[in-house]
Structure 1
Amino acid sequence: MYKIYPKTLFAGQIIKYLPSCQSTNDEASDMIAREDPVEGTIVVTDNQTAGRGQRGNVWLAQAGQNLTFSLILKPVFLSATDQFWLNIAISLAIADTLQPLLGDELRVKWPNDIYVGDQKLGGILIENTLHGYTIAWSVVGMGINVNQIDFSYPTATSLQQQAPLPNGYDLPGLLSSYCEYIEQRYLQLRSGQRDVMKADYLRLLYRFQEAHRFESAGRVFTGIIEGIDPAGRLAIAEGGQIRHFGFKEVAFL
């Protein structure tokens, strides 16, 4: 049972705890379809059996060892073309929560992954409902590897692997801290402080201004990440030209 008392106005003030469910994003979306949930409501589970990741991947996690939750937001101040700014706010909030524990190795891998060095610590899946040209609802799903130490993929890692504690990490405590940071970053976004947020995001961006190999449309190339454009597309310099890639249009190798 998750009982948390974050020092927030709305984020995490209402918690729906499910011992097990297929997907917290699906549960949150069902709440939106059935009712008018309070902004900041969180759906959290100990055991997500069919979690979804980007590119149609499945998010697998050991029951009771990690943070798996979804946050309901109503970012009506954002237009449909500004959806990626919410991604930036969420990524920065996770970094704000975890960087004191992990240090400078923590990175945000565009578009939706949290990395420590070259290993994946967590992922974000944001699903928006539009009303005309604005975002009516956002379901922000997050999976963060916390106390799990055995993974089927060598590229996965956890807080306990990177910064071990004798008795592991307190999951409700981490969730409470995250709620406080997400509210701060969300209110920062709502107040229009985009330049500050973008600068913070670029400082955390995985492989920023480094030569790296990518694949796009079956072609492998070496490029340098120069940043992101207003639509959230990744800007990669190659051969003296900068190309912009949307979600699913380029992959890191």
Structure 2
Amino acid sequence: MPDTLFMGQQLYFLPVCASTNSEAQQLLIKNEATEGCLVLTAQQTQGRGQRGNTWEAAPGKNITLSVVLSPSFVAVRHQFFLNMAVSLAVLDLLQEQGLAQARVKWPNDLYFEDKKLGGILIENTINSQSLQHSIVGIGLNVNQMAFSHPKATSLALCLGRELPVDKLVDRLMELLEKRYLALRNGHTARLKYEYLQALYRYQETHDFLVDNARVQGQIVGVDEDGRLAMEIAGQLRYFSFKEIAFVI
């Protein structure tokens, strides 16, 4: 059990499920989830990623979970700050394990040396002014040694050793609570600064795909709507999730 006030204190473990985010949504609908409720599975059969991508994970080898939050203190227009806090919490975990060069690839993938370690999918329920509920899905490759995608990797492949998944989950809950409470206490400027410093390819010149055309640009920031701020051909441009792709 994690050493937390509420994060992960209510636990639902499912040996197999389609999607932990979907299971967490059902708990919310039934009014059975308190804040910090953790839905954990050893095998997810229909894991989802950004843009409807599927998530590949070998049974029992990786972290596949969802956490229910009630961030009513986050205004709808500032909801990307929750992405920042969650991304930084996972990055905190990776850095504790020895992956100091792990980075957040916008909007919320975890990368190490140009390969994907994990991903985050946050699904928000909003009212008129603020977030009502958020389901935070986190997938992290821990002990899987082979992937069908050449750009995927795991902690074990990067570190040369296997890690205890259960202990990593507990530590992730502790780090997530710390970042979440920082957000609740209004430390948004600090979160944004740390997120930018940890951003994959931040302030570096690289190729990107925009409207199916290859362009050269530099990431210079993220705005309050979570759009990626890019300098391309001397112009500042902003892109939403599906409007730009990295060339890796």
Which TM-score bucket, shorter chain as reference? over 0.9
Q: Distance in 2 between matches of 1:19 and 1:117?
A: 32
Structure-2 residue corresponding to 1:191:
185
Task: Output the aligned Cα RMSD.
Answer: 0.9
Deviation at 1:69, TM superposition (A): 0.2
Deviations 1:6-29 (A, max 9, x none): 111000101100000000000000
Query: What SS is found at the alignment partner of 2:186?
Result: coil
Query: What SS is found at the alignment partner of 1:104?
Result: coil
Runs of 4+ in 1 over 4 A off after TM superposition: none
Structure-1 residue corresponding to 2:171:
177
Structure-2 residue corresponding to 1:157:
153
1:17 aligns with 2:13: yes
Deviation at 1:103, TM superposition (A): 3.1
Structure-2 residue corresponding to 1:235:
229
196, 203, 208: which one aligns with 1:202: 196
Q: Distance in 1 between matches of 2:32 and 2:244?
A: 37
Give the number of equivalent residue pairs. 247
1:74 aligns with 2:82: no
Does the CA contact (< 8 Å) of 1:74 and 1:135 recur in 2? yes
Does the CA contact (< 8 Å) of 1:112 and 1:124 recur in 2? yes
TM-score, normalized by length of structure 2?
0.98
Q: Distance in 2 between matches of 1:104 and 1:222?
A: 27
Deviations 1:18-56 (A, max 9, x none): 000000000000111111511000000000000000111
Q: Distance in 2 between matches of 1:97 and 1:105?
A: 12
- Counting aligned pairs with the same residue, the percent is 47
Q: Distance in 1 between matches of 2:135 and 2:160?
A: 31
Deviation at 1:147, TM superposition (A): 0.3
TM-score, normalized by length of structure 1?
0.96
Does the CA contact (< 8 Å) of 2:8 and 2:38 recur in 1? yes
- Consecutive unaligned residues in structure 2, runs of 5 or more: none
Give 1:59's aligned amino acid: W
Give 1:6's aligned amino acid: P
| 1:128-143 to 2 correspondences below 5 Å | 128-143=124-139
Q: Distance in 1 between matches of 2:85 and 2:175?
A: 9
Does the CA contact (< 8 Å) of 1:102 and 1:162 recur in 2? no
Deviations 1:209-252 (A, max 9, x none): 00111112222210000011111110110111110111111110
- Consecutive unaligned residues in structure 1, runs of 5 or more: none
Q: Distance in 1 between matches of 2:80 and 2:160?
A: 33
Q: Distance in 2 between matches of 1:37 and 1:235?
A: 36
